[in-house]
């Protein structure tokens, strides 16, 4: 094996990464630096420090990245209205480039030779972590244990942990979640285990941050979002930071059963995968952003954004956040948001989000004097429509006449 003196590991303190610390120390005979990111997963991250110390780790990084995550990754993505394969709001995908960025930064700070992660060789995350790392540190070495070791089951990992005195909390017991979970401030995902049968309806007890729409309040809740250059700056008149905005919308949306999704998606590595997702705040944000754009963006600008969106979403899903094409698209998208200012009023009710109002004092392109069904006092000459229609029908008329002549 190549000479590795120090490696930075993306570390959660769970079974996989706890085993990886010991495996790296044994197999690569190297010093391990651990990095634990708080991106709003809803779990205490400090216990990872004690676990890392117990494993002999000297340099331990635990970073609160919630604000950076929403401000610099989630918000830019929502300016594009990004949705993968028509439904998925990219909650896991958008977190990976931030983790890769911080891994590389710590590698530089500590003089490490390599980075490491616990993603498997079957999934998308290995691609996202590594593409991000290579884009930011081209010659970085990457160690992906799941592609090297023979510990390819939970049983083997638990046996390795027991043999090496690694304290883990993973136990098979009644009521344990029979699937894999990943959480951050944007969403929670559920995959694997019993969910690998795409015809299996998950039990209600699986969902963590949304109530069942059937059990949601019988009265709707109204919320008003204030936009500045395409980003939410205030909720119901109260200014909030990016992370505060998403946390608050998660709370409100979850209380009304908003944001559940059951999806079979196409992984970048080629296989199909079934996942269930809870994205209450993101679901509200997407609806509201499209609403404010509807009155502040030109028709063809909107159409261009909609044409580009699926490609932009695939770039994020496949791990190309730091690619030149994504960065170029982001400049175009961000430029379009200069006029996306104003307010959107929404009604939250039993799993649904309905736009009930939108306004912009400075940038609205909606002109009631022209759009009215009443007397517009000459603002629009309806006779102009005849020539417009005939010109646009010209190619259709030529083709129809050609058919009549039998040619």
Residues marked active site are found at 16, 96, 125, 180
Report how far residue 238's alpha carbon sits from residue 300's, in angstroms, rounded to the nearest whole number. Answer: 33
Residue 134's alpha-carbon distances to 227, 246, 311, 321, in angstroms, are 35, 30, 21, 12
Report how far residue 92's alpha carbon sits from residue 316's, in angstroms, rounded to the nearest whole number. Answer: 10
The 3-state DSSP class for residue 65 equals coil
Contact 25, 164 (CB under 8 A): no
Contact 316, 127 (CB under 8 A): no
Give the DSSP H or E segment for 128: helix 125-136
Alpha-helical segments (H) within 55-95: 66-69, 75-79
Contact 66, 38 (CB under 8 A): yes
Region of residue 130 (left: phi > 0; alpha: psi -120 to 50; beta: else): alpha
CA trace torsion 279, 285, 290, 293 (10° rounding) = -160
């Amino acid at each position: 094996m190549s000479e590795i003196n120090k490696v930075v590991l993306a570390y959660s303190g769970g079974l996989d990464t706890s085993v990886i610390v010991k495996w790296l120390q044994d197999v690569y005979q190297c010093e391990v630096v651990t990095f634990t990111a708080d991106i709003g997963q809803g779990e205490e991250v400090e216990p990872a420090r004690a676990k890392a110390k117990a494993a002999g780790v000297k340099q331990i990084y635990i970073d609160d990245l919630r604000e950076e995550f929403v401000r610099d990754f989630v918000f830019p993505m929502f300016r594009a209205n990004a949705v993968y394969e028509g439904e998925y709001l990219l909650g896991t995908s958008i977190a990976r480039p931030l983790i890769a960025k911080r891994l590389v930064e710590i590698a530089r700070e500590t003089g490490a030779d390599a980075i490491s992660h616990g993603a498997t060789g079957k999934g998308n995350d290995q691609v996202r972590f590594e593409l991000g790392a290579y884009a930011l540190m081209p010659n970085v070495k990457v160690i992906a244990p799941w592609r090297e070791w023979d510990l390819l089951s939970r049983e083997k990992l638990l046996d390795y942990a027991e043999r090496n005195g690694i304290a883990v909390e993973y136990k098979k017991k009644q009521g344990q979640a029979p699937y894999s979970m990943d959480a951050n401030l944007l969403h929670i995902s559920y995959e694997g285990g019993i969910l690998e049968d795409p015809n299996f309806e998950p039990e209600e007890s699986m969902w963590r941050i949304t109530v069942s729409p059937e059990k949601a309040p019988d009265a709707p809740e109204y919320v008003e979002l204030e936009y500045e250059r395409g980003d939410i700056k205030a909720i119901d008149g109260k200014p909030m930071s990016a992370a505060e905005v998403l946390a608050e919308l998660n709370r409100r949306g979850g209380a009304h059963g908003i944001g559940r999704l059951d999806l079979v998606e196409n992984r970048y590595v080629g296989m199909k995968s079934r996942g269930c997702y809870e994205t209450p705040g993101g679901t509200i944000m997407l609806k509201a952003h499209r609403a404010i754009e509807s009155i502040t963006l030109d028709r063809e600008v909107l159409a261009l954004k909609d044409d580009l969106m699926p490609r932009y979403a695939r770039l994020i899903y496949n791990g190309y956040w730091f690619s030149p094409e994504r960065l170029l698209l982001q400049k175009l998208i961000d430029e379009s948001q200069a006029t996306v200012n104003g307010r959107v009023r929404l009604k939250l009710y039993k799993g649904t989000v309905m736009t009930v109002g939108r306004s912009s004092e400075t940038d609205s392109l909606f002109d009631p004097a022209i759009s009215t069904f009443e007397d517009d006092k000459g603002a629009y000459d309806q006779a102009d429509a005849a020539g417009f229609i005939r010109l646009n029908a010209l190619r259709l008329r030529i083709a129809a006449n050609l058919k009549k002549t039998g040619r």
